[in-house]
């Protein structure tokens, strides 16, 4: 099954399809501008109507223009937890939520994207996240307390508490990302298996809570919440960058 994808663009990002290959491009530019090229199948949907549930197999071939691109890129399934965004690519009108995801993810320094210290926080990795079904409206009263996270000991404590709510798993991937490779994930109610070409890269017992949506992207943002409680987010200067996708399939597991 080929999903119906729609582009989402910012800062001169571009998406085009030629001879069966999707090309997602962002231009070179400074830190002050957010640059995004994204394909997804959920832009106008509320989370409860996201299209994907287990058992499911996602498979595609991919390559990028350079191994050390600043920012993030990747492909997989998620629940768009940052729906209201801070200007960095969220879907307007969707309240924030705890994350659920299964994806192949690349995060350059200074990203630090882990609530647990034993899973990859940057680099190229396969990863999963599973969170409890807590209504997003329950987080609204906590918004006035967010400035207190500037206090690092308190921020570190909150990160550890969130780590108890959000289960997370992941494994680093060692491959030439500038060459074509086949990436596959098999999602069931109990686990997620990740394959790089024909080799299993990770079998995770952390299966994200459905429903989820498909996302493929490249951008120049970063976010970090370190074990010491330091929180940072922002944009990075980047060269022209490209993510190419081919042979994309999403189908029920056999």
- Identify the DSSP state of 17: E
Instruction: Identify the pLDDT of residue 149.
Output: 78
Binned at pLDDT 50, 70 and 90, residue 39 comes out as very high
C-alpha span between 165 and 177 (Å, rounded): 33
Instruction: Identify the pLDDT of residue 137.
Output: 67
Cβ-based neighbours of 182, under 8 Å, separated by 6 or more: 59, 60, 61, 195, 196, 197, 198, 247
Per-residue model confidence as pLDDT tens digits over 62-102: 999 999 999 999 999 999 987 644 344 444 456 788 899 99
- Identify the DSSP state of 141: G
C-beta neighbour count of 30 within 10 angstroms: 11
**CA proximity to 52, closest of 166, 209, 191, 198:** 209
Tokens, residue 47: 């989370």
Instruction: Identify the pLDDT of residue 97.
Output: 86
Give, for 159, the enclosing helix (H) or strand (E): helix 152-165
Instruction: Identify the pLDDT of residue 87.
Output: 40
Residue 22 has pLDDT above 80, yes or no: yes
CB 189 within 8 A of CB 54: yes
Residues linked to residue 106 through DSSP beta bridges, in sequence order: 73, 124
C-beta neighbour count of 28 within 10 angstroms: 12
Instruction: Identify the pLDDT of residue 85.
Output: 43
C-alpha span between 86 and 88 (Å, rounded): 6
**CA proximity to 194, closest of 97, 74, 111, 114:** 74
CB 176 within 8 A of CB 97: no
Average pLDDT value over all residues in the chain: 91
Per-residue model confidence as pLDDT tens digits over 112-130: 999 999 999 999 999 999 9
Per-residue model confidence as pLDDT tens digits over 184-225: 999 999 999 999 998 999 999 999 999 999 999 999 999 999
- Identify the DSSP state of 44: T
Tokens, residue 34: 């957010």
Instruction: Identify the pLDDT of residue 148.
Output: 74
**CA proximity to 202, closest of 184, 180, 216, 217:** 184
Q: Which of 159-163, 224-228, 230-234, 240-244 has the lowest mean pLDDT?
A: 159-163
Domains of the chain: 6-251 (2.60.120.200)
C-alpha span between 20 and 148 (Å, rounded): 49
Cβ-based neighbours of 61, under 8 Å, separated by 6 or more: 180, 181, 182, 183, 245, 246, 247
């Amino acid at each position: 099954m080929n999903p119906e994808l729609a582009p989402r663009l910012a800062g001169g990002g571009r998406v085009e399809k030629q001879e069966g290959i999707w090309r997602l491009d962002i231009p070179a530019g400074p830190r002050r501008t957010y640059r995004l090229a994204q394909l997804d199948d959920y832009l106008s949907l509320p989370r409860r109507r996201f299209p994907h549930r287990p058992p499911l197999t996602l498979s595609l071939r991919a390559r990028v223009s350079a191994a050390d691109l600043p920012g993030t890129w990747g492909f997989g399934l998620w629940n768009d937890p940052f729906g209201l965004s801070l200007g960095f690519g969220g879907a307007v009108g969707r309240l924030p939520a705890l994350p659920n995801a299964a994806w192949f993810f690349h995060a350059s320094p200074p990203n630090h994207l882990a609530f647990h210290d034993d899973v990859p926080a940057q680099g190229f990795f396969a990863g999963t996240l599973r969170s409890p079904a807590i209504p997003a409206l329950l987080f609204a009263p906590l918004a006035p307390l967010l400035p207190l996270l500037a206090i690092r000991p308190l921020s570190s404590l909150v990160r550890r508490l969130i780590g108890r709510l959000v289960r997370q798993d992941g494994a680093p991937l060692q491959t030439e990302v500038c060459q074509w490779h086949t990436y596959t994930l098999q999602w069931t109610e109990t686990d997620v298996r990740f394959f790089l070409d024909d080799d299993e890269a990770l079998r995770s017992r952390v299966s994200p809570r459905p429903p989820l949506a498909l996302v493929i992207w490249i951008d120049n943002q970063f976010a970090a919440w370190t074990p010491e409680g330091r929180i940072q987010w922002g944009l990075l200067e980047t060269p022209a960058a490209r993510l190419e996708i081919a042979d994309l399939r999403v189908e029920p597991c056999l």
